[in-house]
């Protein structure tokens, strides 16, 4: 049916016009409950990030944490390293000041190196132009000037301090561990091993110069060798840790991409659902709601985007009571329950509720896990459906099944009806008595009536939806009305409805008002002819014998649609009859099949058009009207098809 599709399109259009919804479904927008910032809240995000409520939420939350941090892991390490270098530089300068204050002798060269290193480290840390030390994202390596500005400067400064103050009690050699470690983390393995080798040789050289040929030289050299081996171990461990960290970060970003895609899929599926979906907590706060649910909660339009409280609308008290009962008892019938809402004095809506719980009633510590912000409490997912929509869908399913059966039966009826009609025609050619002729004519009339019913049923048989069939609605309407008027012996005149002159208009029972321009619509010509003839037959049957009893008007409403309206001055349709006008096999006439208007609606929906009955006011002469909204073609004025200027009122052929 076109109705649900049209409602979904209206809901999507309304959502595009609304302000963006809150980023998270929780009223308490804490870091633990804040979902991925990738669009409207979804059911997965609405669960509050509880690891017991969502699958893979721990990985998703870790990926979210990584993605929210500025830059990748290597950039964060470089920033930490530059800050540590600045701290070490200040500590070296401070150590020299303390040593000098204690009266100990300090070498001017050592002080100079410490001051220069502190200044260089501070500049690298503070100046924005010197912060971009890493290579483009993905390589996880330092740029060449980045290596010289950090690791190279550390090796030069700390090595020079170790050489200048080798005999002092202050051990500058320990500082060399920092550039060696960072070389293993931020550079390739070959460069890192080369750095470790250079530092190890430096330690051995300084030690050899210091001990000379003393007896303790061998022990000191052995210690320096072990220190060099330790540097190699540090390089290897740093490289392995950096590689593992890069792999984990890549996996986290991949998980984040999957989580974002899944969230988008969930949002699309939930928004397109015809049933309403609400996620409600124990304080009756709605954490998430799809457009269908927001439309069911109010009489006109939609409720505001989540989060909001159901208690703010007194009309929703029965719904609140039902949800509160479900949360308290933690069970609900699988078939659901009905709740009736009086949204306003004239609108009562019956909803069928199905409730599902995010955690089983089943956890003994569920209530103990509740927290003030509500993230530990159980939530319930409420699936709402308008009872009228469910009944309409059931009727449509029954009608579809009945239509398939009827089409099969109609096919079987055609051959016997044709044989009966042919035999009856042969009988009428014989010399029969008047009584026999009357009986034969009765057989012929009823055979033709059955044939019309069979044709109507076959017209309803499932077929391919209307495609790109185009027709000039104005020209076809003029042609159909002319042929129909000639067949029924009535006069139809085409003129503006505001004109009240001319002898033809004063006697014509059908008045037409057609536009001067070409109105191309998406409809098959024969099917539109069928719709027009059915509507004209009904109007003529129920209208009066006066001039202008039937009025037919075609107008362009907007670039996308055109409106075909047909009204008559017959007696108003009863209020109890109006809801059943388009139902199959419903007729107010004893000899009517009740398929005319039903066929009109089916044909209209096949081409994206709509048809409805509109009763007019008591002061309007034409009190009964049918309105058909047609879909216009994308190209209205086709080349080579100019429409002549409007002509004065003229008469259509009369039999």
419-428, Cβ contacts within 8 angstroms, sequence gap of 24 or more: 420/447, 421/447, 421/448, 421/451
616 in the same domain as 483: yes
% residues pLDDT > 90 (the chain): 7
Sorting pLDDT into bands at 50, 70 and 90, what band is 464?
very low
Rounded Cα distance, 13 and 15, in Å: 5
**650-651 and 492-494 strand pairing:** antiparallel
Mean pLDDT of 355-383: 58
pLDDT > 50? residue 361? no
558 in the same domain as 455: no
403 in the same domain as 346: no
Best-predicted range by mean pLDDT (45-59, 423-437, 580-594):
423-437
Rounded Cα distance, 583 and 613, in Å: 13
223 in the same domain as 97: yes
515 in the same domain as 433: no
More confident residue, 135 or 489: 489
Nearest to 247 by CA among 74, 69, 64: 74
More confident residue, 94 or 542: 94
- Where are the strands (E) in 189-292, listed by range? 276-280, 285-289
Token code pair at residue 224: 């320096």
Q: Could you tell me if residue 537 is inside a domain?
A: yes
* pLDDT score at 2: 46
Of 391, 425, 450, the residue that ends a domain is: 391
Rounded Cα distance, 498 and 520, in Å: 25
Q: Could you tell me if residue 168 is inside a domain?
A: yes
pLDDT > 50? residue 267? yes
Q: Could you tell me if residue 257 is inside a domain?
A: no
Of 365, 391, 417, the residue that ends a domain is: 391
Chain centroid, CA 179 distance in Å? 52
CB 352 within 8 A of CB 385: yes
Rounded Cα distance, 28 and 375, in Å: 9
Domain span holding position 349:
2-34+273-391
494 in the same domain as 606: yes
Rounded Cα distance, 415 and 420, in Å: 9
Assess whether the previous peptide bond of 212 is cis (omega < 30° from 0): no
pLDDT > 90? residue 90? yes
Q: Could you tell me if residue 154 is inside a domain?
A: yes
CB 630 within 8 A of CB 611: no
Of 370, 391, 412, the residue that ends a domain is: 391
369 in the same domain as 415: no
**pLDDT, tens digit, 9 for 90 and up, residues 503-556:** 566 678 888 889 888 999 999 888 898 899 889 988 888 888 888 888 899 999
Mean pLDDT of 84-104: 88
403 in the same domain as 377: no
Mean pLDDT of 107-115: 88
pLDDT > 70? residue 406? no
Q: Which residues lie closer than 8 Å to 339 by C-beta, 6 or more apart? A: 318, 319, 322, 350, 351, 352, 353
CATH number at residue 285: 3.30.450.20
In this structure, of 145-154, 190-199, 238-247, 385-394, the range with the lowest mean pLDDT score is: 385-394
Taking phi over 0 as left and psi of -120 to 50 as alpha, with beta for the rest, 378 belongs to beta
pLDDT > 70? residue 647? no
Sorting pLDDT into bands at 50, 70 and 90, what band is 590?
low
pLDDT > 90? residue 586? no
Mean pLDDT of 146-175: 82
Q: Could you tell me if residue 254 is inside a domain?
A: no
Mean pLDDT of 355-372: 52
Mean pLDDT of 103-116: 86
Average pLDDT, the chain: 75
449 in the same domain as 533: no
**pLDDT, tens digit, 9 for 90 and up, residues 472-507:** 999 999 999 988 988 888 888 886 544 444 556 667
533 in the same domain as 602: yes
518 in the same domain as 440: no
CATH number at residue 545: 3.30.565.10
* pLDDT score at 377: 59
564 in the same domain as 623: yes
* pLDDT score at 500: 46
More confident residue, 358 or 136: 358
More confident residue, 40 or 121: 121
Sorting pLDDT into bands at 50, 70 and 90, what band is 215?
low
* pLDDT score at 402: 67
Q: Could you tell me if residue 61 is inside a domain?
A: no
% residues pLDDT > 70 (the chain): 71
CB 613 within 8 A of CB 635: no
Rounded Cα distance, 368 and 49, in Å: 18
Best-predicted range by mean pLDDT (133-137, 433-437, 462-466):
433-437
Q: Could you tell me if residue 50 is inside a domain?
A: no
**pLDDT, tens digit, 9 for 90 and up, residues 297-307:** 888 888 888 88
Domain count, the chain: 4
Sorting pLDDT into bands at 50, 70 and 90, what band is 169?
low
More confident residue, 244 or 41: 244
Rounded Cα distance, 636 and 226, in Å: 90
Rounded Cα distance, 498 and 147, in Å: 89
Sorting pLDDT into bands at 50, 70 and 90, what band is 564?
very high
* pLDDT score at 117: 92
pLDDT > 90? residue 119? yes
Q: Could you tell me if residue 264 is inside a domain?
A: no
Mean pLDDT of 642-650: 40
* pLDDT score at 563: 92
């Amino acid at each position: 049916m076109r109705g649900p599709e049209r409602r979904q399109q209206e809901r999507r259009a309304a959502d595009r016009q609304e302000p963006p919804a809150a980023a998270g479904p929780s009223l308490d927008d804490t870091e633990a409950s804040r979902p991925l910032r990738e669009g409207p809240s979804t059911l997965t995000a609405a669960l509050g990030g509880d690891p017991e409520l969502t699958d893979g939420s721990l990985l998703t939350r870790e990926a979210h944490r990584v993605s929210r941090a500025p830059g990748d892991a290597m950039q964060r390490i470089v920033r930490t390293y530059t800050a540590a270098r600045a701290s070490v530089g200040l500590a070296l300068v401070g150590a020299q000041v303390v040593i000098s204050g204690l009266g100990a002798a300090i070498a001017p060269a050592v002080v100079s190196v410490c001051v220069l290193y502190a200044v260089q480290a501070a500049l690298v840390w503070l100046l924005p132009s010197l912060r971009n030390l890493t290579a483009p994202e993905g390589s996880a390596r330092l740029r060449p000037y980045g290596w010289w500005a950090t690791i190279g400067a550390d090796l030069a400064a700390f090595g020079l301090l170790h050489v200048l103050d080798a005999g002092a009690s202050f051990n500058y050699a320990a500082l060399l561990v920092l550039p060696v470690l960072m070389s293993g983390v931020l550079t390739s393995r070959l460069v890192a091993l080369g750095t470790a080798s250079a530092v190890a040789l430096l330690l051995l050289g300084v030690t050899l110069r210091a001990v000379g040929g003393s007896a303790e030289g061998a022990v000191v050299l052995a210690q320096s060798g072990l220190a060099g081996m330790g540097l190699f171990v540090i390089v290897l461990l740093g490289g392995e840790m950096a590689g593992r960290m890069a792999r984990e970060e890549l996996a986290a970003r991949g998980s984040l991409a999957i989580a974002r895609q899944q969230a988008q899929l969930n949002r699309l599926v939930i928004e397109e659902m015809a049933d309403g979906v609400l996620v409600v907590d124990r304080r009756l706060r709605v954490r998430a709601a799809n457009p269908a649910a927001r439309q069911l909660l109010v009489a006109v339009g939609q409720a505001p985007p989540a989060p909001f409280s159901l208690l703010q609308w007194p009309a929703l008290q029965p719904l609140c009571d039902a949800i509160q009962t479900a949360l308290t008892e933690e069970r609900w019938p699988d078939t659901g329950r009905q709740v009736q809402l009086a949204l306003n004095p004239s609108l009562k809506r019956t909803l069928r509720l199905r409730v599902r719980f995010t955690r089983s009633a089943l956890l003994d510590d569920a209530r103990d896990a509740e927290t003030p912000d509500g993230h530990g409490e159980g939530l319930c997912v409420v699936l709402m459906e308008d009872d009228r929509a469910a009944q309409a869908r059931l009727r449509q399913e029954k009608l579809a099944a009945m239509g398939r059966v009827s089409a099969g039966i109609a096919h079987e009826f055609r051959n016997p009806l044709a044989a009966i009609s042919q035999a009856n025609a042969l009988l009428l050619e014989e010399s029969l008595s008047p009584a026999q002729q009357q009986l034969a004519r009765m057989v012929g009339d009823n055979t033709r009536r059955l044939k019309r019913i069979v044709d109507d049923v076959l017209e309803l048989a499932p077929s391919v939806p209307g495609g790109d069939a185009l027709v000039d609605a104005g020209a076809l309407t003029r042609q159909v009305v002319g042929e129909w008027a000639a067949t029924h012996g009535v006069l139809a005149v085409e003129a503006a409805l505001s004109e009240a002159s001319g002898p033809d208009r004063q006697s014509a029972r059908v008045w037409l008002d057609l536009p001067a321009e070409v109105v191309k619509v998406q409809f098959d010509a024969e099917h539109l002819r069928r719709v027009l003839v059915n509507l004209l037959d009904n109007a003529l049957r129920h209208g009066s014998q006066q001039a202008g009893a039937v009025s037919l008007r075609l107008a362009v409403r907007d670039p996308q649609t055109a409106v075909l309206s047909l009204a008559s001055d017959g007696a108003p349709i009863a209020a109890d009859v109006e809801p059943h006008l388009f139902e199959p096999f419903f007729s107010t006439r004893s000899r009517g099949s009740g398929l005319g208007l039903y066929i009109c609606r089916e044909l209209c929906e096949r081409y994206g058009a709509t048809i409805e009955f509109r009763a007019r006011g008591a002061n309007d002469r034409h009190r009964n009207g049918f309105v058909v909204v047609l879909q216009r073609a994308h190209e209205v004025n086709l080349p080579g098809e100019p429409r002549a200027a409007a002509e004065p009122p003229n008469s259509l052929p009369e039999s």
